[in-house]
Structure 1
Amino acid sequence: MYLTRFRINIARIGARRLLSSPQMMHAAVLSSFAEAPKPDADGPRILWRVDRDGAAATYLYIVSPARPDLTHLVEQAGWPETGRWETFEYGPFLNRLTKGEQWAFRLTANPVHTARRKNDEPTKITAHVGLRHQIDWLLKRQEHAGFRIVEKAPERRLIPELDRYELLVHNRRNLVFRKGGQKDPVTVVAVTYDGRLEVTDPDALRRTLTHGLGRAKAYGCGLMTLGKA
């Protein structure tokens, strides 16, 4: 497995086009591989995420089974003369994960649930738009995903019902695009989670980091990365 980071030059028209369309970015990411890995329900997949850290920088992160070549992205959305990307062997880090460790994490996800307006209607996938529901969406998946969100000490909780965890939910946005030949546009609600976690099941967490969490993985959701707490 490989973890890649590429800085996007937001001053370029090509970069702005990619950032405005998750479909175009997905295609650009897949084009980074001479032979894109075939979808496999049990195997790791290509995951990607765009991080916009204010006016400082915009980065594309990719986790993939094969090493990518981002030459086309440098030419289209980077700095052709000086632009580079960084690719790291991800396996050694994944193998060192240990139960009880604490890490800072970032996850961009598509928090959804199934709902129906009337009893006689079929269920429909609906986005969570409220902060409390978005937090609950992640909490319900943490055990299966191999981690536990760290709780704050009671004296540090500003709003008891919403400030229990070392967790910040931000950067909510609607990704709107047309899929295939569909007439109506598709809307994917994406939010970013920043927080602190404790490893409870290293094998399950390794799977989360290489398979993604939640839906809309082709459109920049599902990739969790870890950093020093």
Structure 2
Amino acid sequence: MYLSRVEIDVANRQKTKDLTQLSAFHNWVEQSFPDEINNGKKLRHLWRIDQLQGKKYLLLLSENMPDKRQLLRYGVHDTVMIKSYDRLLNSIKQGQLLQFRLTANPTHTVLQPGIKQGRVVPHITIDYQRKWLIERSQKLGFQLGTTTDKSTFDIVSRDWPLLSYKSGRRLRLSRVTFEGRLRVEDADQFKQALINGIGREKAFGMGLMTVIPRINND
């Protein structure tokens, strides 16, 4: 696995004029793997947009190494960083405390009378968005605090980016970024969560959780 990052050149309007909605970012990510396109075998790529210290970054997790030139398509020159993620994955163990960041699309299914398939709708409130992550943590091999305890993790940003389909349909997705600390309960399950992503809309910048070891395991 590879974790890649590039600073988005937001100062160059000519360069980034196409990046007005999620499908454009999705296309940028897909075009960064020309070998997969040529072989007709596209793999799942997890990605998200991070804003750190006034700069905007594309962060990407992939099985194969992306093409550096394609990754720079909308990026600032000489800012591409690509590193192996396997070392971190192999270091994860039960009981470990990790600092995490996750951008996700918290949703739930509403059942309707007479209809077998429920309707998927976003969670709107902060409390339910926090509860959504806590409930999934128990199935994905890690442990968080309670719904009301914000000392272990919290929501640091929420917005509604635009997604446009080829059919012309337009949709606003709920995008929520969580930050905090977690404890690994099942190392194998947790690794799979990091690799496969968490929640829905993974193709459109949701689901990627990144972690770093905490200096003090308290």
CA deviation string 1:154-181 (max 9, x = no partner): xxxxxxx623551111321112222121
- Distance across 1 between alignment mates of 2:149 and 2:145: 11
The letter for the 1-side match of 2:84 is E
Contact 1:149 1:165 in 2 (8 A): no
1:30 aligns with 2:24: no
Contact 2:21 2:164 in 1 (8 A): no
Contact 2:36 2:42 in 1 (8 A): no
Unaligned runs of 5+ in 1: 152-160
Task: Decide whether aligned partners of structure 1 residues 136 and 39 sit closer, same or farther in structure 2, where only a CA change above 3 A counts.
Answer: farther
- Give the aligned partner of residue 215 of structure 1: 200
TM-score if structure 2 supplies the norm length?
0.88
TM-score if structure 1 supplies the norm length?
0.84
Contact 2:155 2:179 in 1 (8 A): yes
SS at match of 1:17: coil
1:63 aligns with 2:57: no
SS at match of 2:23: helix
The letter for the 1-side match of 2:69 is T
- Give the aligned partner of residue 89 of structure 1: 84
- Give the aligned partner of residue 16 of structure 2: 15
- Distance across 1 between alignment mates of 2:75 and 2:150: 40
- Give how far 1:124 is off: 1.0
Mapping 1:174-193, distance limit 5 Å? 174-181=160-167, 183-193=168-178
Q: Which runs of 4+ in 1 moved over 3 A?
A: 37-40, 118-122
Contact 2:109 2:121 in 1 (8 A): yes
1:49 aligns with 2:48: yes
CA deviation string 1:82-114 (max 9, x = no partner): x23111111121011010110110000000001
Contact 1:150 1:198 in 2 (8 A): no
Task: Decide whether aligned partners of structure 1 residues 124 and 73 sit closer, same or farther in structure 2, where only a CA change above 3 A counts.
Answer: same
Task: Decide whether aligned partners of structure 1 residues 129 and 7 sit closer, same or farther in structure 2, where only a CA change above 3 A counts.
Answer: same
- Give how far 1:79 is off: 2.9
Q: Work out the number of aligned pairs and report it.
A: 209
- Distance across 2 between alignment mates of 1:16 and 1:225: 28
- Give how far 1:115 is off: 1.1
Contact 2:96 2:183 in 1 (8 A): yes
- Give the aligned partner of residue 5 of structure 2: 5
- Give the aligned partner of residue 129 of structure 2: 134
